[in-house]
Amino acid sequence: MRRAGLILLVLLVVALAVAAQLVDLPDGTRLRALVDGAGSAAPVVFVAVCALGTAVFFPKPVLATAAGLLFGVGWGSALAIAGFTAGAMIAFTIARGLGRDTVKGWLGERLQVLERVFARRGVEATLVIRLLPILPFALANYGAGVTSVRGRDFALGTALGLVPSTVLAAVLGDALSDLGSPRSIVALSIWAVLAAVGVWWGRNLITAAVRAS
């Protein structure tokens, strides 16, 4: 699953690079002028789209990249993190209502891994999942809802853990028309480092949880 996450990240970057070369993409300044023309409703609508998209399995990196393109790095990252966290909590709440038997049908044995990890360190485990998903983002949200992790720990870990990847995706979105720029290269490099950290940290958490059980 960790390898699948890395493959998806590489495919996303390749797709963005190809799009930047083949399509005459409008720069961020022009798009943000259009967003500004929509008034105060634009940020609210975008947060709602991120929240609902997260709950229904829409790819998070696409929305995070769009945030940078439409709102800039700082404001776009803040809006995306708010929306993703809200969406994660929507899924978390739905899962608690559906019950463990239903969610177990989606996750199988992976639910046992989540349970062991979350039972020990809820905030830390959520941070690891957000750095590099042990499970796809949306499935982890639903899986967490039927584990013993407290809702506030899950919300905090989600919001904090989303910061690095969301900001980096927003940087790429902001520079979508020039993916060869130094800041894009730096962002991709940092993203790769975070992925490696996530693999190491997640492996340690899972190993410790298994030994404790």
Q: List, for residues 160-202, the tens digit of each pLDDT value.
A: 989 888 888 888 777 765 555 676 666 666 666 666 666 666 6
Contacts of residue 152, defined as CB under 8 A and 6 or more positions apart, other chains included, come to: none
pTM of the model: 0.72
> DSSP H helical segments within 72-109, as ranges?
73-98, 100-107
Average pLDDT taken over every residue of the chain: 76
**5, amino acid identity:** G
pLDDT reading at 28 higher than 80: no
Q: Are 171 and 73 in contact (CB under 8 A)?
A: yes
Cα-to-chain-centroid distance, residue 59 = 8
Mean pLDDT, residues 92-116: 81
- Helix 151-174 vs helix 122-131: crossing angle, to nearest 10: 20
E runs forming strands in the chain: none
Which CA distances in Å does 39 have to 33, 75, 170?
10, 14, 21
**pLDDT: which is higher, 45 or 12:** 45
Q: Are 79 and 71 in contact (CB under 8 A)?
A: yes
Mean pLDDT, residues 67-72: 87
pLDDT reading at 80 higher than 50: yes
pLDDT reading at 33 higher than 70: yes
Structure confidence at residue 207 (pLDDT): 64
Contacts of residue 15, defined as CB under 8 A and 6 or more positions apart, other chains included, come to: none
The structure tokens 């929240």 sit at: 51
Q: Are 158 and 126 in contact (CB under 8 A)?
A: yes
CA distance 63 to 49: 9
**pLDDT: which is higher, 213 or 67:** 67
